[in-house]
Chains A and B, each alone.
Chain A
Amino acid sequence: MRFYIDDLPVIFPYDYVYPEQYQYMCGLKKSLDGRGHAMLEMPSGTGKTISLLSLIIAYQQFYPGRRKLVYCSRTVPEIDKALAELKRLMEYRRSQGCEDKDFLGLGLTSRKNLCIHPRVSKERKGTVVDAKCRQITASWVRNKAKAEGNIEVCDFFEKIQTLESSELLPTGVYTLDDLMDYGRASGMCPYYLARRVIPFADVIIYSFHYMLDPKVAEMVSKEFEKDSIIVFDEAHNIDSICIDSLSIDLNQRTLRASTDSVERLTERVEEMKSQNSEKLRDEYERLVDGLRDALAAREEDLILANPILPDRVLHEAIPGNIRKAEHFVRFLKRFIEYLKARMRVMHVVAETTPSFLQHIKEITFIERKPLRFCAERLASLVRTLEITDLEEYGALAKVAAFATLCATYDTGFMVLFEPYESDHSTVPNPVLHLACLDAAIAIKPVFQRFHTVIITSGTLSPMEMYPKMLDFVPVVQDSLTMTLARQCFAPLVVTRGSDQVTMSSKFEVRNDPAVVRNYGNLLIEMARAVPDGIVAFFPSYLYMESIVAMWNENGVLKDVWKHKLIFVETPDAAETSVALQNYRTACNNGRGAVLLSVARGKVSEGIDFDHNYGRAVIMFGIPYQYTESRILKARLEFMRESHQIRENDFLTFDALRHASQCIGRVLRGKTDYGLMVLADKRYSRSDKRSKLPKWINTCLTDTSLNLSTDMAVALTRKFLNLMAQPFDMQAQLGVSMWANEHIVLYGGRGDIASDAAVAAVANGAALANGAEAMEVE
């Protein structure tokens, strides 16, 4: 269908549009027009991605300037899906007569996911693929190969080098699979191909890290124009990603590996000095000039800033004492020895970065300034020494990044040393954490550089939290509800078992046999009543493991086995993927299955349990973070002081965004249906409920708020019976689904030939819609 938002013709690849999709697009348009940031919450499974793409593509193609869309998503399957939707949209636009000349859309992902080299792609680990790839594609390897021959190079990569960037890829939309197919057909490496054509692409889809992680962003996202449109989809977790991208853990293994690397570096430096000292001298010259080029580029507003390399670093030359390769290697050695010494302490130490630096200075006489340049200097050295196997130097790079970050930021970071893994363990496993506490640091360059950054997800409530944490001002901020012709999801808060004992995952009672038994009974009853698939989420791995073991012993699982097969998420991604696939097979062939998994785990992020794959989702308890964690405590303190966010508010907010994310997995589209069972006493309290997304919250009525297991099962049966009735799609029209006429009716601008037709249909629609529509008229 085609309709107008203001003067912008939007082509939407369906015959109807959900009202919330329309409103969502209106919100988007406003923020694009205003060149400001936006936060939009829209229920999961209501076609967020396609609304977003339809509007932005329409905007991009209609107005001059052709703003590039950079769409960041959480997981690779979601990237795949977004690309598929984009492809379908572009096909539809073409069928509607849009030219969209030279349109190019593609996704980026790692070498492991894209490699088509017959030997390298067989490797199972991503890091190994990276290393092997570099071994045959690095520039000095290729130079050497040209000079000497009989050195293996990657033919797919070589092919790319022979062509101009603009000639590499015909226009169109490429899903990751398409890209690989094209690569195979044309004999070009899809990974490098994608990276080469970034400047020509109109839409780029990749994961958050490519934008937020400075190490990666430096390589791929640096050169986007200022007026690019940046979208973070499924961004409810964006603060954690920001924090993760600037946090570093060092343990003894890392340090040992770094020592080895330093030894190797020393050898390489000696070797090179004896053979070819010219290169080292060149490097020295370059370093005297400092990072002038980077500075120039940034000042000319060409690139995205890198939080690891803040502006003031660029103004200075690399300090003299680490300019020479051998000096720098010795410097690193000293620093690592210092860290090793710190590791021998047997008590917890938490300190700010300035005090950490002060201590270093006292002990080793290492100044702050050279530390700050550590990461950059190491990168330069590795390049000079022509090292391909970066995997071996991963640990050392980590230490260097640690040094740089410590020396760069005075606030927003904490250095924490923990000699034991947990309070109970007796075997020392010392870890030195550099914890980023301020989520705003990593995302700041993005907000500063780009005019429009859109943060969207199914669960962003309460929305005032994000602007505070990420330190930005949204011009549009909206939470949309779900319009429904029939109530196709039923949130149930189960607070007690059939024996009226309160259920809760509160720490004091979670291992209480009565609670465990009641949770078990809930699962059994649900397995009995609900057809096909059930997904159950637990607050943590630890709790899931212990409760599953207890259920196994007290016979709960024996009853569950009678009704359904049981699959459990494990820490290994491959293993879990296989379990997921089997889970789906079991749902499809009628056996039915239960999947036990963890909120915040891999499954809860990005796997959809639509239709028969998830008729019910049970959230056992509230997925609070482990509050005794020192890093979390420090972060809470930081937020209280600098953002005025109360500890409890944040913890509840964080727990409930994950809970709602878990239960939202069950719904996809308005024809789907599913139960959302929240099994904890505390969900019935209003302070918890108010933090659920609006679209779930409005469906929580008094009847479903304080249920015992038997009542919940009765409601479940009723709900499932109701949902099993045939559902006339036409009943949605005008209520939860709009045709062009309805858009006009509600004050929008449709695309209808004659006014008479509008009036006629409007009358009909008015009759259908009753009073609400009449008001509009």
Chain B
Amino acid sequence: MLLLPGESIKHTSETTCNKEDGSLYFTNKRLAWCKAGSPTPTVEVLHDHFSGQQVSKAETKKVMLRVTAAQPPGASGGAQASVTHTFTWKHADKDAAIADREKYVAELSVIMSKRSQGGATASGSSAAPSGHATSAATPGQSGESPSTATAAASASASGVPGSSTQSASEYVKVKIGAVPASAEEIKLRQDVLSKNAELAKLHKSLVVSGLVPEDEFWSTRKHILETQAIQSQLRKGESSTWLDLAPTTQESGNFKYTITPSVARRVFKEFPQVKRAYVENVPHRISEKQFWKSFVASQFFNRGRSAEAGKGGGRDAIFDKCTQEEDALFDNTSRHDLELLNNLLNLTRTEEDSVETGNAADFTMRPASKDSKLALIRRFNRHSELVLQSVLGNKRKPDVPSSVVTSQALESATVLNDLAVPEAEKRVKLNIQDKSRYFTSMTTDASNTRSTTDAHESQGGADPLVSARSTLKVSFDISRPLSDCGDVQATMASMLSSAHRQAMQRRPNRIQELHIPDDLSHAVAECHGAGTEMLRHLWALLRLPPTADRQTKAGKIVVAFDGVLKRIDETIAKARVAESKNANIATTVERMLQPITTSLRTGKQAYEHRRLVPAKSAA
């Protein structure tokens, strides 16, 4: 087979595909199949495009592997279309063929589990069920899937944190705002709409009813899409729950443990020894089922449980070995690199500082060295460490803490911060050019204030703050700089509440007291929404230098204005006939819709004006 640059073959097998003989190659870049005698592959799937694999059942005669792959972008067909290839092994010896196939299965599982780790988006995308799909492909064994699950687990257990770089989420590449929108963007939009009911409503009333084109609608909402794209990429951290296999009691009084692929995966992650035992023993020595059966019965599994539970399990060569391995791992204290430890936490330094002396501690203070409880405790520590590492990844700096870091740690551990005079916070002085007008916005009658200030100025400049204070009806001395005001927060709070109170007093009637029926208020809101949306687009277009394209667009929008205006009229008409406690509901609704009507008119006028001006200048 012709290799790509930098490519190397890992496995090859004689297989048939589409009833033709040929060889299957697995390389570090792709899976390829060449017809016998042909140097160029007829089937090739790059690693990035795998989306699933299936294997034939053990009982069936043929040994087959089906690979599902997403179409590479640019290939003909829909963006989400996928192709499947089925390869059949030609070996005479079935077991050998199966063993051969397992190599591919394992490799593919690794690739896919890496992918599912890296891109959490997989759950939503069509390429989703990578590892899971395989187990689903073996019906009748829902509890105990064959080695495919193992391989997936092995990949995640061996923990390749860097994998996210290799196959980052598809959304990373999404260029939001492209016209026409890419498939990914459309998916994003759907996601956003499904999550945000308000927006969905607006979308429905504007886009679906044809008032605003889809792309226009989203063009002002890019940030929402971007946020969604980022959010969909966020990976959820590892669950910290402790793997606890609780048996269910059956009618016969027997216990039943259910081991699903995900449980198996977690077992492998927590206990690498079990993973090793599995790889060594299943399926050629004992069956999958037997393996798990002896696992839950083993003393290894029951470590740290009460004595009765532990006694149930007899000796078991496989898992006794696991126990030994685990103990060896835990007892090997040199696995901890003490160089990386914070000096202040390094207990060994104290231990090494004193000579061994004194009577041994009484037995309550001595750890039960050979007891299984210690192993349980160590398992806890290990589990917590694993969870932490899954969060931190390899970010933890591997370098030995420098003396600077050490002295900083020492300082933070010894300095009493509150005994120092707090450093003055850096404040930037508010530079107000014309102080006289600073509080005008707060006063009810701007013109009034202006005239009074003018008067003040002519009189030699009395305090403009006095008026502000009286407006807010708060008694405090606002003329002092803020830093001297004592409790700034309290002052601000009292100011706010005062302003709030006044606003409440001034408003004549609350919205509830208007007694507008629900459907009417919905209609009003819709009119506002549609109007605002369209105006936003219109003004956005008008602000830019005019081009023919923009002109037509703006024209379209202005035409759509009529629809809104019509809706407004309908609403007002509806209000006229509506029954309500509020006698003059029609006027109220009219008044509510007045601003948007006005704005629409203004917009229209501006557009008309704009249309005429270039015509004139051209003339």
The smallest beta-carbon distance between B491 and chain A, in angstroms, is 14
The smallest beta-carbon distance between A726 and chain B, in angstroms, is 8
> Are A84 and B380 in contact (CB-based, < 8 A)?
no
> Are A584 and B345 in contact (CB-based, < 8 A)?
yes
Assembled-state Cα–Cα distance A76/B365 (Å): 23
> Are B418 and A570 in contact (CB-based, < 8 A)?
no
Assembled-state Cα–Cα distance A669/B388 (Å): 29
Q: Please, what's the 1-or-0 string for B395-413, where 1 marks a CB less than 8 Å from any CB in chain A?
A: 0100000010011001101
- Known: A77-B349, A545-B371; 20 extra A-B contacts, CB below 8 A, are A15-B419, A50-B414, A74-B350, A110-B353, A244-B359, A249-B358, A421-B363, A545-B373, A545-B377, A558-B241, A573-B347, A573-B350, A577-B346, A578-B341, A581-B345, A591-B387, A602-B347, A629-B362, A631-B359, A669-B418
A215 within 8 A of B: yes
**Chain B contact residues, CB within 8 Å of chain A:** 240-242, 244, 304-306, 330, 333-334, 336, 338, 341-355, 357-360, 362-369, 371, 373-374, 376-378, 380-381, 383-385, 387-388, 391-392, 396, 403, 406-407, 410-411, 413-422, 489
The 9 closest A-B pairs by CB, nearest first: A244-B358, A14-B419, A126-B352, A571-B367, A540-B364, A76-B349, A84-B410, A565-B384, A112-B352
Q: Do A541 and B359 form a contact, CB below 8 Å, given A14-B416, A548-B373, A584-B345?
A: no
Q: Do A561 and B403 form a contact, CB below 8 Å, given A209-B354, A549-B306, A567-B381?
A: no
Taking a contact as CB atoms closer than 8 A, the residue among A570, A577, A607 that contacts B377 in the complex is A570
> Are B366 and A541 in contact (CB-based, < 8 A)?
yes
With most chain A CB atoms within 10 A of its CB, the pick from B417, B418, B422 is B418
> Are B353 and A109 in contact (CB-based, < 8 A)?
yes
Q: Which residue of B lies closest to A608 (CB)?
A: B413
Chain A residues numbered 51-87 whose CB sits less than 8 Å from any CB in chain B: 74-77, 80-81, 84-85
Q: Which residue of B lies closest to A547 (CB)?
A: B373
> Are A626 and B363 in contact (CB-based, < 8 A)?
yes
Assembled-state Cα–Cα distance A576/B348 (Å): 9
> Are A565 and B388 in contact (CB-based, < 8 A)?
yes
Taking a contact as CB atoms closer than 8 A, the residue among B374, B388, B413, B422 that contacts A585 in the complex is B388
Assembled-state Cα–Cα distance A571/B371 (Å): 13
The smallest beta-carbon distance between A666 and chain B, in angstroms, is 15
A580 within 8 A of B: yes
With most chain B CB atoms within 10 A of its CB, the pick from A578, A580, A598 is A578
Q: Which residues of B contact A349 (CB under 8 A)?
A: none
Q: Which residues of A contact B403 (CB under 8 A)?
A: 177-178, 181
Chain A residues numbered 720-749 whose CB sits less than 8 Å from any CB in chain B: 726, 729-730, 732, 737
With most chain B CB atoms within 10 A of its CB, the pick from A243, A575, A591, A625 is A575
Please name 6 pairs of A and B residues whose Cβ atoms are closer than 8 Å in the assembled complex, sorted by A. Answer: A88-B411, A88-B414, A113-B349, A247-B359, A431-B360, A608-B413
Assembled-state Cα–Cα distance A575/B420 (Å): 38
Q: Which residues of A contact B343 (CB under 8 A)?
A: 77, 80, 177
Q: Which residues of A contact B366 (CB under 8 A)?
A: 541-542, 571
A168 within 8 A of B: no
> Are A542 and B348 in contact (CB-based, < 8 A)?
no
Q: Please, what's the 1-or-0 string for A141-183, where 1 marks a CB less than 8 Å from any CB in chain B?
A: 0000000000000000000000000000000000101100100
Taking a contact as CB atoms closer than 8 A, the residue among A18, A76, A85 that contacts B353 in the complex is A76
Assembled-state Cα–Cα distance A573/B242 (Å): 25
Assembled-state Cα–Cα distance A14/B416 (Å): 8
A253 within 8 A of B: no
> Are B358 and A245 in contact (CB-based, < 8 A)?
yes
Q: Do A552 and B376 form a contact, CB below 8 Å, given A245-B358, A589-B391, A631-B359?
A: yes
The smallest beta-carbon distance between B341 and chain A, in angstroms, is 5
Q: Please, what's the 1-or-0 string for A497-517, where 1 marks a CB less than 8 Å from any CB in chain B?
A: 000000000000000000000
A101 within 8 A of B: no
Q: Which residues of A contact B384 (CB under 8 A)?
A: 565-567, 579, 582, 586, 593
The smallest beta-carbon distance between A191 and chain B, in angstroms, is 12
Q: How many residues of A contact B (CB 8 A)?
A: 106
Q: Which residues of B contact A671 (CB under 8 A)?
A: 417-418
Assembled-state Cα–Cα distance A743/B308 (Å): 68
> Are A542 and B364 in contact (CB-based, < 8 A)?
yes
> Are B352 and A77 in contact (CB-based, < 8 A)?
no
Q: Which residues of A contact B242 (CB under 8 A)?
A: 557-558, 561
> Are B305 and A549 in contact (CB-based, < 8 A)?
yes
> Are B407 and A84 in contact (CB-based, < 8 A)?
yes
Q: Which residues of A contact B369 (CB under 8 A)?
A: 571
A314 within 8 A of B: no
Q: Which residue of B lies closest to A47 (CB)?
A: B416
Q: Do A586 and B353 form a contact, CB below 8 Å, given A81-B414, A570-B367, A671-B418?
A: no
Assembled-state Cα–Cα distance A601/B348 (Å): 13
Q: Do A209 and B355 form a contact, CB below 8 Å, given A76-B349, A568-B377, A585-B392?
A: yes
Q: Do A562 and B353 form a contact, CB below 8 Å, given A546-B373, A580-B345, A581-B342?
A: no
> Are B418 and A729 in contact (CB-based, < 8 A)?
yes
> Are A76 and B306 in contact (CB-based, < 8 A)?
no
Chain A residues numbered 248-266 whose CB sits less than 8 Å from any CB in chain B: 248-249
Assembled-state Cα–Cα distance A178/B407 (Å): 10
Q: Which residues of B contact A396 (CB under 8 A)?
A: none
Q: Which residue of B lies closest to A625 (CB)?
A: B362
Assembled-state Cα–Cα distance A433/B410 (Å): 40
Assembled-state Cα–Cα distance A113/B350 (Å): 9
Assembled-state Cα–Cα distance A249/B411 (Å): 41
Q: Do A582 and B385 form a contact, CB below 8 Å, given A84-B410, A577-B341?
A: yes
Assembled-state Cα–Cα distance A15/B241 (Å): 48
Assembled-state Cα–Cα distance A234/B358 (Å): 20
Q: Do A591 and B413 form a contact, CB below 8 Å, given A110-B353, A215-B355, A577-B338?
A: no
> Are A81 and B334 in contact (CB-based, < 8 A)?
no
> Are A581 and B377 in contact (CB-based, < 8 A)?
no
Q: Which residues of B contact A411 (CB under 8 A)?
A: none
A356 within 8 A of B: no
Q: Which residue of A lies closest to B242 (CB)?
A: A561
> Are B336 and A669 in contact (CB-based, < 8 A)?
no
Taking a contact as CB atoms closer than 8 A, the residue among A216, A545, A572, A577 that contacts B345 in the complex is A577
Assembled-state Cα–Cα distance A606/B352 (Å): 15
> Are B344 and A243 in contact (CB-based, < 8 A)?
no
Q: Do A591 and B305 form a contact, CB below 8 Å, given A15-B419, A244-B358, A608-B413?
A: no
Q: Which residue of A lies closest to B333 (CB)?
A: A574
Q: Which residue of B lies closest to A579 (CB)?
A: B381
Q: Which residues of A contact B420 (CB under 8 A)?
A: 14-16
A543 within 8 A of B: yes
Q: Do A575 and B336 form a contact, CB below 8 Å, given A177-B407, A671-B417?
A: yes
> Are B373 and A568 in contact (CB-based, < 8 A)?
no
Assembled-state Cα–Cα distance A122/B90 (Å): 58
> Are A75 and B376 in contact (CB-based, < 8 A)?
no
Assembled-state Cα–Cα distance A207/B349 (Å): 11
Q: Which residues of B contact A603 (CB under 8 A)?
A: 347
A600 within 8 A of B: yes
Q: Please, what's the 1-or-0 string for A222-248, where 1 marks a CB less than 8 Å from any CB in chain B?
A: 000000000000000000000111011
Q: Which residues of A contact B406 (CB under 8 A)?
A: 177
> Are B363 and A422 in contact (CB-based, < 8 A)?
yes
A362 within 8 A of B: no
With most chain A CB atoms within 10 A of its CB, the pick from B305, B347, B413 is B347
Assembled-state Cα–Cα distance A245/B359 (Å): 9
> Are A549 and B359 in contact (CB-based, < 8 A)?
no
A312 within 8 A of B: no
